[in-house]
Structure 1
Amino acid sequence: MRAALHLPLRALVAGAMLAVALPCLPAQASQASAEAREPHPLEIFQNSEDRLFRVGYRLATANAAFCPHTVPVAGLMIHDAESYGDPEAVRKLFGLNGDIGIQAVAPGSPAAKAGLSQNDTLLALDGQRIAPHWQRTEPRWQRVFALRDAIDAALARGSLELTWQNSDGIERTAVIEGIPACPTRFELVDSKASAAADGERVLVGERFPGLAYDESAFAAAIAHEMAHNIMRHPQTFRKIGWKRKLVRLSERDADRLMPWLLHNAGYDPRAAVAFMREWGPKHGGWIFRKRTHDGWDERVEFIEAELPRLEAAVAAHPEGLADWASGFTPELYVSDG
């Protein structure tokens, strides 16, 4: 799971699959038939992105005290029905009374405490209605980016007033303030089976095998990619080029930082080992045997060797946190001067 800068990532990732051809849904469907039907592919995608977002939010906020820079976050992700191939069908599928839906809400976040839920319809930001202040755009993905930027800017100023309609058709308004988080976004990418970090985002393919693992093992995979962003590996390699030895060290550092990040987020640090043991034997012929990576069994050894250092740091911290900003020593920067 290298920080894959040259992975062919699309510029159109906006919290949901874009321009998807969505079959029309029946206008009239009984509750029984709705419960009996198989989940729609977009519902499966939404559930996977919701899981990624929740885990990412937990990791990013729990480690904010040790990140050199933080950003305020509210714990919600939005998507735009107009970004899909059949907007009306998307609105029906998710029960939206408008174009902008709540794709995910992190438990315990400011958004969750304000009462927002998945598939609520966002109606206004700071008193400005979505229409006409944010009209449909071409390309269609641009509007959700503009809305996301407006949310971020308001939180950076101190607070954000949201108006939305819930599933009961009730319109509500609340003012929320963000909480600090390490500056990484977490996004699901359609038709991919890999995970990557690009310096600002963790991008996980909808076919990434780790999505099927238990939450702590999945969180370990996300922590690995987040570690690349924390240590600015993508930025480093953009500057100096892809040097095999240094890439190997960056992977080793991301592996070793995994348990520190997991501990602060309330996961068992040994989930990093569990993930590697589950992933490695099945995928060892892929990236885990590339010359830019140690073998998966070697990576287990490096993680296990890090655990005593983590435990000592936790024991010394007054709040029992893993202060990786002070207690973790990356090999890449030591070796590279």
Structure 2
Amino acid sequence: MQPILPLTFILLLAVQSPAIAAQEPGIESQDVRALKSLQLLDQRMHTTGYRLVSANSEFCTETVPHFGILLHDLQQYGDQEAARLALGFSRPIAINAVAPDSPAAIAEMAAGDGLIAIDGTAVQDVAIDAEKLADEKPEYRRIAAVKEKLIEAAADGQVTLAVYSGGANQLITLTPVKTCRSQFQIRVSAKREASADGDMVSISSALAEYVRDDEELAAIAAHELAHNLLKHRERLNAQKVNRGFFGQFGKSAKRIKAAEIEADRLSVWLMANAGYDSQAAIRFWTRYGKQHGKGIFSASTHYRWKKRVKLFEEEIAKMQQMEPVAGKYAPPSLVGGEPE
């Protein structure tokens, strides 16, 4: 009997070390299992992110068109044969996930459907601006260019996609919905961590595995999304905040902590509007805090878990005193209220 390996270890092996995988007997099946597990995490993250950005769009100053699909490219995987087998690629660029109740879901699109063309432009003919995409790894530039083309096409209000699905080519016309501007991804890592860079919310595979349910995953995603919606990276950069070792002291630490407090407060409003139980933030940080002290980050820039829980309780109490409008609570920090 083969030993059962931790999922994160298998993911790291399959995604980051294809050369090692090819040398180990029996490892190919592990690659396939790992990629399938990674796809499940991607699908959970995509569903959670879509719910958060679509439900809160009316409170966001920046919105983008969204169809509810997550694309991926065969060439972004180290072992392309394993990826083709595990993930059901029918074309080099395919759908990795479809968010429930999204335009793509209504059109009955599904993971594995191959993307052939966008408004008549074949995906292989989509221009790749090497200078604009210089920060992307080479294997991710094509998918980044295709995603950008999809957003540009959506500006006209409708997009016609040529897809390969169910053994045949189809034309599907989609009307996008407006969502808050933010993307979501699972980053393969054995560390439990999460981050936001102003556009992308990243949650490590280890942390996504640690959560007990989708409600807790939403609590983490909502906190990081709050950083993006409140433009914390831009604000901290403008204040010349040091994010290195010296950022743990003085004005930099104080400003980073203030941003973390704002994100905590906003996160439970974002969760509630998306239909998630805001109490999940309390449950997650209580459990994580008891096990790991301050939480994901053990620095002076973050409150200890008991103070974080108190912040959540205060914000939930505020919501309970309000009457929702069409089932939504207007977050004070997004509609003109002063961040605390």
1:115 corresponds to which residue? 108
In structure 2, C-alpha distance between the alignment counterparts of 1:71 and 1:326, rounded to whole Å: 19
Deviation at 1:307, TM superposition (A): 1.6
Is 1:80 aligned with 2:73? yes
Pick from 316, 323, 327 the counterpart of residue 320 of structure 1. Answer: 327
Flag the 1:223–1:285 CA change in 2: closer, same or farther, 3 A. closer
In structure 1, C-alpha distance between the alignment counterparts of 2:326 and 2:50, rounded to whole Å: 21
Which structure has more RCO (C-alpha within 8 Å, separation ≥ 6)?
1
- Aligned pairs for 1:100-249 (under 5 A) are 100-133=93-126, 139-166=138-165, 168-191=166-189, 192-209=191-208, 211-242=210-241, 243-249=252-258
In structure 2, C-alpha distance between the alignment counterparts of 1:185 and 1:269, rounded to whole Å: 21
Where does structure 1 differ by over 6 angstroms across 4 or more consecutive aligned residues? none
In structure 1, C-alpha distance between the alignment counterparts of 2:318 and 2:336, rounded to whole Å: 8
In structure 1, C-alpha distance between the alignment counterparts of 2:319 and 2:155, rounded to whole Å: 33
User: Structure 2: any 5+ residue segments left out of the alignment?
Assistant: 1-13, 23-28, 131-136, 242-251
User: Structure 1: any 5+ residue segments left out of the alignment?
Assistant: 1-15, 25-35, 332-337
Deviation at 1:17, TM superposition (A): 5.4
Query: Scaled by the length of structure 2, what TM-score is found?
Result: 0.81
Deviation at 1:132, TM superposition (A): 4.8
Q: Secondary structure at the match of 1:140?
A: helix
Q: Secondary structure at the match of 2:138?
A: coil
Deviation at 1:97, TM superposition (A): 2.5
What percent of counterpart residues are identical? Answer: 34
RMSD (Å) for aligned C-alpha atoms:
2.6
Amino acid at match of 1:188: I
In structure 1, C-alpha distance between the alignment counterparts of 2:168 and 2:188, rounded to whole Å: 33
* Aligned partners of 1:210 and 1:221 also within 8 Å: no
Deviation at 1:38, TM superposition (A): 9.1
In structure 1, C-alpha distance between the alignment counterparts of 2:294 and 2:321, rounded to whole Å: 35
Q: Secondary structure at the match of 1:319?
A: coil
Query: Scaled by the length of structure 1, what TM-score is found?
Result: 0.82
Is 1:60 aligned with 2:59? no
Deviation at 1:106, TM superposition (A): 0.4
* Aligned partners of 1:17 and 1:189 also within 8 Å: no
* Aligned partners of 1:288 and 1:294 also within 8 Å: no
| CA offsets 1:131-175 (integer angstroms, 9 cap, x no match) | 45569x992321101100000111122211111122x31322111
Deviation at 1:211, TM superposition (A): 5.0
1:307 corresponds to which residue? 316
Deviation at 1:39, TM superposition (A): 5.7
Is 1:267 aligned with 2:279? no
- Aligned pairs for 1:248-287 (under 5 A) are 248-284=257-293, 287=296
* Aligned partners of 2:198 and 2:233 also within 8 Å: yes
In structure 1, C-alpha distance between the alignment counterparts of 2:180 and 2:220, rounded to whole Å: 17
In structure 1, C-alpha distance between the alignment counterparts of 2:312 and 2:296, rounded to whole Å: 17
Flag the 1:20–1:158 CA change in 2: closer, same or farther, 3 A. farther
Flag the 1:247–1:210 CA change in 2: closer, same or farther, 3 A. farther
| CA offsets 1:309-331 (integer angstroms, 9 cap, x no match) | 11223x1x432311013375412
| CA offsets 1:257-279 (integer angstroms, 9 cap, x no match) | 11111110011122221221122
* Aligned partners of 1:210 and 1:217 also within 8 Å: no
Paired residues in the alignment total 301
In structure 2, C-alpha distance between the alignment counterparts of 1:121 and 1:235, rounded to whole Å: 37
